[in-house]
Structure formats: C-alpha cells, structure tokens
Structure 1
C-alpha cells in the first residue's frame, strides 16, 4: 500500500514536468531575431538588431504558464546598419560593451491569456542593472519540420527606458521598443 501511494504521489508530482519539452533557440539557422526601434530626434525611427544571442526555453502547449525562458545577448553585436553609429552605441555613452558585454532575460512568470496570447514577465539585465519587464507575446505555431525535428515559434514586444538601466539619455527621455521573434528546436 505504501509503495502504491508513493508511486501515485511521485507520478502526480512529475506529470506536469513530463509534458514540457526543452527547446534551443534557432540562431544558427537564423530563425530568431531581437530587433529594436527608437525615435530619432522625434523625426523618424532608428532601427536595428542584435546579431548574436542564444537561449533556451521549455514549453508545454497544455500548460503554457509553466514555460521557462532564458536568453543571453552579446551587446557588442548591436547592428543599426551604420558602423560609426554602432561604434557610438557600444561606447560608454550607451551600452558600454567593454564593462557590460552581456544582457540577459530570465522569465519569472508566464500568464496564458488565451488564444495563443501570453504575458511573459521576467528579469532583464542590461548595462549591469536588472529590472522586471513584461513581454506581450503570442504563439505563432509548432510542429514537425522538414528535417525530422520539431519546432515551436513565438513573437513578442516590450519597451524599456534607457535611464532605467543607468544609460545616458543624451537627447532626452529615450524609450527603446524591442521586437522578438523566437523559433526553438525541441531537444
């Protein structure tokens, strides 16, 4: 009887974990992107991306709120399609990549809002400062790929303010909008 009860309890505890799958974000195949957009003097948009990052996530379609996400960004990989501007963005005036070569996001809570809509809360560390952010996300899809693997894809947006991360706001209050596209390969 004790063995049966222990088996039932153990199975109940492990069942939620058994359905979650682990994924590696497909940066090698260029199926994931971290893009940014910020106002340029109020006249136009400055856009760009981070070219080098890596991450993992666990996901269970039956329990999306149990997902876990970790992403690490190489801040020196910032790319606004202008070499001199990128050099300035890497400098002490902004990202200070010499002292802060990595940015990192670690999820802390996922809220399933229904119909594939998710609210992803987590800790974002940038420029040596960690703040809680929320990403409005959506599940794009999941399924078998043509190479015998299985993939899941998501997109999301969030906004951060440079001053919140100890960076100078040379031209006034600066908000940066982040647009995320993540496709993971199940491991």
Structure 2
C-alpha cells in the first residue's frame, strides 16, 4: 500500500500511514498541504460552477483543520477551489505525501434546507438536486452522483462528497445528512 495513492475507495485504518494526494494551498503569503480525494469537478447542477476538489478529513491534521474549518469528524464547511475563485486559499497544485489516518469519516457539511415564514420549503439548487437524487441506486456503496464510495456511519451509507445518504440494506438514496 505504501506505493499506491489512497483514494475514496481505499480501506484505511486509523493510526496507519498511507500515501495521500495533497493539494498545495496558498494565499500568496502562506502555504500548507491539504489531503484531498475525488476528482476536480464543478457542481453546476446545484449552483456551484467553480472548479473544486474535496478535502479528505481522514488524513487532515490540526493546521489543515483550522484552515478549512473542519470538525473533529473530518467534516468541512467548504471545498477547495482554484485561482480565480473568491476563496483566500486556493489550490496551486498537488503532491503525494505520507500521512497518518486520523479518523474514518470525512465529507462536506451540506447547506441546510431553508423554509419561509410559513414553514414552506424555499427553492434552492442544492435542495432541488438532492430531491432529484432520491430513489437512485447506490448499489455497491457507489454514490450515483460521481461514483464515489459511500462510507458507513452508524448504519447508514454517507457519500463523503455531498453527504447523500442511504441505508445499507436498500442501497437507494433517501436524502442528505446534515
């Protein structure tokens, strides 16, 4: 395993070291490495047209956690974008580094569903996208969005990219985990 780069499909163990793809993040003055997984993509279908990649919280340490506002479960508040976006830190390139697995969970915290003053759901490209994914198969623990391996968390399958969820038995998307 030491020569193969870990991806979202690699089974990992907490405490062991793995070769991990890391984004070189910079604001022009400071630089740090952030473990990443998945491919560079955009999500125009739910209103995020910027090219980005997701942080892999399984291998992130304290410094990276502070820079991307990551919680203790490896969940982040935003994705890693490239020059030209409004983010202060942007991806400048990639490098593979040995990193220690710190946790088995990761993913981005999706935006909450919003309601109006009457309690009716408000329109949102993300919410509409989640609704369009409901009922789609995630057989083999593969998310129907980008084919990413879904992780098991307390008896449910969770996509680490956008937190789509399914139960393990039916392997069908039922919503999103907030």
Q: TM-score, normalised by structure 2?
A: 0.26
Please identify which structure carries the higher strand content.
Answer: 1
Q: TM-score, normalised by structure 1?
A: 0.25
**Larger Rg over CA atoms:** 1
Please identify which structure carries the higher helix content.
Answer: 1
